[in-house]
Homo-oligomer: A and B are copies of this chain.
Amino acid sequence: MTRVAVIGAGQTKFDEHWSKSLRDLSTEAGALALQDANLEGRDIQALYIGNMSAGRFIGQEHLAALTADHAGLTPIPATRCEAACASGALAFRKAYMAIKSGEYDIVVAAGAEKMTDIKGTSAISTLMGAGDQEWESSIGLTFVGLYALLTRIHMKQFGTTREQLAMVSVNNHKNGVLNPLAQFRKEISIEDVLKSPMIADPLRLLDCSPITDGAAAVILASERVAKSLDNPVWILGSGQASDTLALHNRTNLTGMLATKIAARKAYEQAGLGPEKIDIAEVHDCFSINEIIAIEDLGFCEKGLGGKFIEEGRISRSSEKPINTTGGLKSVGHPVGATGIRQIVDLTRQLKGQCGPMQVKEVKTGLALNIGGSGATAIVNILGKE
């Protein structure tokens, strides 16, 4: 079975793009990735795109064919993958498996979402399509509401503090200041978080990732193609798992079972454990989720995530730098694009292309992309030769 490498990466600025449509954004990201890989459109054999809800946001399904069309890539096979906010990593994983199947040598995996300047239903209502329509959204639950429930339980069971939650956002904003593609490039303080408007008790505005437009793309290649290139980044392991859509069906709410299973699979495939991961991009849609993530990924013991962060052990200069380019909180969270954006940032860190954001001696990186309140989790581990 062939190994698979990431040989190009591109990302639009994550922002409110009032003058760019979804097709403009995805094509821009794809062109940047092609340029980075030093390839042309005719070299691409298949396209995968992650998108959560263009049908509701902009009245457009059939997004993969549209993207191939707008980017001048027809008649290549074009596939849209969807798993709510994990749609990006899902597209990446399916592209990876397509190359492993022997069907293609060079594939583009993109992610895109247009969430502002839309008609129709609000983003809040559309995003709740990631939860259980019959048992959660129909009774008025919103996503921040679901995560507020998870926060309360974590605080009660492990003594996680309101300040520790704030430190997640503080760290992400500090990292994002240096990221020219981030939506919010401004440092914030713990006090700023604690004084920001309450959204769903105990989560406040600055605990929440924003509504964003954006796209990201990576080029994947088989070993046959990639081995002759300088400095390829290899996919060492990949895992995906599911869990109940509604929170009320889970037996445990202090962690995410799907993350643990997906991580175990990815670690096994990569032949390494969490102690060997140099940097990680994790899914901080709300501050609590970064704490849960670093526990479930095995970076610290269950329940000690808040303390781990309080001790400064996730900063860019620490032992386990997390969300080194700003995370969902600062970079922004165009839901279908985030999973690919994480791969873009890991690839650049592994290649040493991050300028002032660069972390030293990065040989392995892990990305965790989560859909809904944990019903989908996808973990990918990248590494150098």
Contact = CB atoms under 8 A, between A and B. Distances in A.
A137 B21 CA distance: 16
B375 A129 contact: no
Nearest to A240: B77
A235 to B, nearest CB: 12
Interface in A42-75: 47, 52-53, 55-56, 58-66, 68-69, 73-75
Identical copies in the complex: 2
Contacts of A56: 55-56, 61
B80 A61 contact: no
A371 interface: yes
A315 interface: no
A245 B82 CA distance: 20
A157 interface: no
B62 A372 contact: yes
Contact of A62 (B59, B61, B82): B82
A282 interface: no
Contacts of A69: 242-246, 249, 375
Interface string A79-100: 1111110000010001001101
B82 A61 contact: yes
Interface residues of A, number: 64
Contact of A241 (B63, B76, B84, B126): B76
B62 A1 contact: no
Nearest to A258: B75
Contact of A97 (B21, B98, B132, B242): B98
A241 B45 CA distance: 10
Contact of A133 (B59, B75, B80): B59
A320 B58 CA distance: 42
A245 B65 contact: yes
Contacts of A241: 74-77
A328 interface: no
A78 interface: yes
A130 interface: yes
A131 interface: yes
26 contacts: A21-B134, A53-B55, A55-B56, A56-B61, A58-B133, A60-B129, A61-B130, A62-B83, A62-B245, A62-B375, A62-B376, A63-B82, A65-B371, A65-B372, A69-B244, A74-B241, A75-B241, A75-B257, A79-B83, A79-B94, A79-B240, A80-B81, A81-B81, A81-B82, A94-B94, A100-B101
Interface of A: 1, 21, 23, 47, 52-53, 55-56, 58-66, 68-69, 73-84, 90, 94, 97-98, 100-103, 125-126, 128-134, 137, 240-246, 249, 257-258, 261, 371-372, 375-376
Given A60-B132, A66-B132, A101-B101, 13 more contacts: A52-B61, A53-B61, A59-B125, A60-B133, A61-B130, A62-B82, A62-B83, A62-B245, A66-B375, A68-B242, A73-B242, A79-B94, A97-B97
